[in-house]
Chain A
Amino acid sequence: MTSDKARYWLLALPALAVMAIFYIWPLVNIWAISVTEPVPGFGNYVQGAESQAVTTSFVITFRVAALTTVFCVILGYICAYAIANTIRRAKPLLIALVLLPFWVSVLIRSFSWIVLLGRSGIVNDALRDVGVIERPLRLMHNEFGVVLAMVHVMLPFAVLPLLANMRGISPAYTDAARGLGASELTAFRLVYLPQTLPGIGSAALLVFVLSLGFYITPALLGGGRVLMVSEYITYQIQEFLNWGLGSALSVALLVATALVLVIAGRFLNLKNALLERS
């Protein structure tokens, strides 16, 4: 039996070894760089904590991630509810529309938003043609544009866990509450909504964690004016070759992400939320 066990490990080992050597080890190295370059010590962390630009970047990151999460959970909830409970015949179409963005790359989706929201973008042109505005509105290169495009990118990640959760809820409870005289809204609020809290939690966690480290959409829609931490790190390294500060901020971002997961783990079954999702 022991030799069987060794053979099973032999199957699992190549992937684990590749992951440890080429992924985990380089990440550990980032931590090492942050305390050795340019000089050994925690100077980079001190510099980061004292820098106004760095703290602003972290505040922007958490604010954008939080706003994105709130909008995604609300919109995702409505959409998942419609799929699970109210739409019947057109359900496959609705699911297909929700999943469509998953098939299209984030880069293309961000490009679409640039085409829509730019200074001479489609929205501004249309509004000017109709005569609503005279000068183009600033719809991107600000937090509005970044959050709008990020909600679009992250929304499917909110819908799927909510839908999985709602599919497991028996209508019998809400029906019983209605039969006992509760109004439809009361039955929803007191009976249905509490049963969907695990789904809300998973959706919020997934969207928030992915938003914290998001780079592509904020970089393209923010136009350098909404510097989230990921973009700030890239600036430090590509423009100033400041690897010390860049890797210290990377470690900080990684720790922030881990903290969010640990806190979420107190309220949520992380194994269900992350490991078993399909």
Chain B
Amino acid sequence: MSAPEARTTPFRIAMSTGGWLVAAFLALPILVVIPVSLTDTSYIGLPKESLSLQHYEAYFTSARWLGGTLGSILVGLAVAFFATVLGTAFSIGVWFLGGRAATIARWVLIVPILVPPVVQSLGFYRFWVQLGLIDTWTGVILAHTLLALPYVSISVFAALANLDPKLPQAARSLGASIWRTVWEVVVPAARPGMITGAVFAFIVSFDEIVGVLFITVRRVETLPKLIWEGIQDNIDPTIAAVATILVVISLIVAVISGLRRS
């Protein structure tokens, strides 16, 4: 260990200060939506004379905003369910198989992380037209499930890295069927990864915008789509109120997950 006085060298002070500055750069710009959402003006800006909740009222009384929010939540839940089921089964199968073919299969499943969003959305659009899935909730759930699968398979596979392969073998040699072994030995070991994966899948779907812009028209509206259109058309402070609500929820979730981890 270095001597105690080494802790306060100019180099270490510079790195610590730099670290805090970078963290401030990451966190502070996000928080700017909070004061803006409380503005008493009808345009985006800081409050002029007093604080006002009018833009929150506008959000909570708008059928369109609430409908989009509900739509996004339901799609997110459906995506979390389908992606977790498919991704967990995949990772467990591949974990048992091992070897070259299994590694290739894992690469195939993470392709959506690497393909540019606009490119994959063009693909969705053309195929969804053929399938009659344009502007349907089914179409959005299917597209989002594909985009969420990589995250589920990565986190489930990471959880299985801690499972000793001898355990399922022991269950088998004691007479358990293959499905019972999977269900009672492997799935419990995969559970932490499944939970992380489901949360990731929900967030991927809840935030997704490019695909939705391509495969929906007017009937299907998600929250990101309404925010996107709001930013493009006129900058209305309702967006700041929505953004604040989302940031505050994110903060709460981040704090809870941080506390659980420590």
Binding site for B on A (CB under 8 A): 4-5, 7-16, 18-20, 22-27, 29-30, 33, 75-76, 78-79, 81-83, 85-87, 92, 94-101, 103-116, 118, 120, 122, 125, 152, 155-156, 171, 175, 178, 184-185, 188, 209, 212-216, 220, 229-231, 233-234, 237, 246-247, 250, 253-254, 257, 261, 271, 274-278
Closest residue of chain B to A179 (Cβ to Cβ) is B2
Encode B234-262 as 1/0 by CB contact (under 8 A) with A. Answer: 01000110010011001101110010001
Give the docked Cα–Cα distance between A254 and B112 (Å): 12
Q: B29, A100: Cβ atoms under 8 Å? A: no
Q: B12, A86: Cβ atoms under 8 Å? A: yes
Tell which of A10, A30, A86 touches B16, judged by Cβ atoms closer than 8 Å: A86
Quick one: which of A19, A29, A33, A250 has the most chain B CB within 10 A?
A: A19
Instruction: Chain A residues near B142: list those with CB within 8 A.
Output: 22
Q: A112, B243: Cβ atoms under 8 Å? A: yes
Give the docked Cα–Cα distance between A116 and B116 (Å): 27
Encode B91-135 as 1/0 by CB contact (under 8 A) with A. Answer: 011101100001101111111111111111011101100000000
Tell which of B15, B44, B118 touches A250, judged by Cβ atoms closer than 8 Å: B118
Known: A15-B87, A99-B254, A230-B119. 15 other contacts (CB 8 A): A26-B124, A26-B127, A29-B127, A33-B126, A81-B15, A82-B22, A97-B23, A100-B251, A105-B224, A107-B209, A111-B243, A113-B29, A116-B29, A156-B26, A254-B116
Q: A152, B127: Cβ atoms under 8 Å? A: no
Q: B89, A100: Cβ atoms under 8 Å? A: no
Give the docked Cα–Cα distance between A85 and B89 (Å): 40
Give the docked Cα–Cα distance between A20 and B116 (Å): 17
Give the docked Cα–Cα distance between A20 and B111 (Å): 11
Instruction: Chain B residues near A13: list those with CB within 8 A.
Output: 93
Q: A107, B224: Cβ atoms under 8 Å? A: yes
Q: List 14 A-B contacts (CB under 8 A).
A: A8-B93, A11-B93, A12-B93, A18-B146, A29-B126, A85-B15, A101-B30, A104-B30, A108-B30, A108-B247, A111-B240, A229-B116, A247-B122, A274-B113
Closest residue of chain A to B98 (Cβ to Cβ) is A8
Q: A26, B123: Cβ atoms under 8 Å? A: yes
Asked if B32 is at the interface (CB within 8 A of a chain A CB), the reply is: yes
Q: A277, B154: Cβ atoms under 8 Å? A: yes
Instruction: Chain A residues near B90: list those with CB within 8 A.
Output: 11-12, 14-16
Within 8 A of A (CB), among B148-165: 149, 153-155, 158
Asked if B227 is at the interface (CB within 8 A of a chain A CB), the reply is: yes
Quick one: which of A22, A212, A231, A254 has the most chain B CB within 10 A?
A: A22
Give the docked Cα–Cα distance between A264 and B198 (Å): 31
Within 8 A of A (CB), among B25-72: 25-27, 29-30, 32-33, 36, 44-46
Q: A18, B224: Cβ atoms under 8 Å? A: no
| Cβ of A219 to closest chain B Cβ, rounded Å | 9
Tell which of A4, A12, A110, A209 touches B178, judged by Cβ atoms closer than 8 Å: A4
Instruction: Chain A residues near B251: list those with CB within 8 A.
Output: 100, 103
| Cβ of A208 to closest chain B Cβ, rounded Å | 11
Main secondary structure of the interface of A (DSSP, over half): helix
Q: A233, B122: Cβ atoms under 8 Å? A: yes
Give the docked Cα–Cα distance between A204 and B87 (Å): 28
| Cβ of A108 to closest chain B Cβ, rounded Å | 5
| Cβ of B93 to closest chain A Cβ, rounded Å | 3
Closest residue of chain B to A153 (Cβ to Cβ) is B26
- Top 7 nearest A-B pairs by Cβ distance? A213-B116, A82-B19, A11-B93, A26-B123, A12-B93, A15-B90, A103-B250
Asked if B216 is at the interface (CB within 8 A of a chain A CB), the reply is: no
Q: A97, B36: Cβ atoms under 8 Å? A: no
Q: B112, A12: Cβ atoms under 8 Å? A: no
| Cβ of B140 to closest chain A Cβ, rounded Å | 13
Give the docked Cα–Cα distance between A119 and B149 (Å): 41
Give the docked Cα–Cα distance between A87 and B21 (Å): 13
Instruction: Chain A residues near B178: list those with CB within 8 A.
Output: 4, 7
Instruction: Chain A residues near B20: list those with CB within 8 A.
Output: 82, 94
Tell which of B15, B89, B143, B154 touches A86, judged by Cβ atoms closer than 8 Å: B15
Instruction: Chain B residues near A15: list those with CB within 8 A.
Output: 86-87, 89-90, 109, 149, 153
Tell which of B105, B119, B250, B253 touches A253, judged by Cβ atoms closer than 8 Å: B119
User: Do A101 and B26 contact each other (CB < 8 Å), given the known contacts A7-B178, A19-B108, A234-B118?
Assistant: yes
Give the docked Cα–Cα distance between A261 and B113 (Å): 13
Quick one: which of A13, A27, A33, A98 has the most chain B CB within 10 A?
A: A27
Give the docked Cα–Cα distance between A257 and B111 (Å): 12
Q: A209, B15: Cβ atoms under 8 Å? A: no
Give the docked Cα–Cα distance between A23 and B115 (Å): 11
Closest residue of chain A to B116 (Cβ to Cβ) is A213
Closest residue of chain A to B13 (Cβ to Cβ) is A86
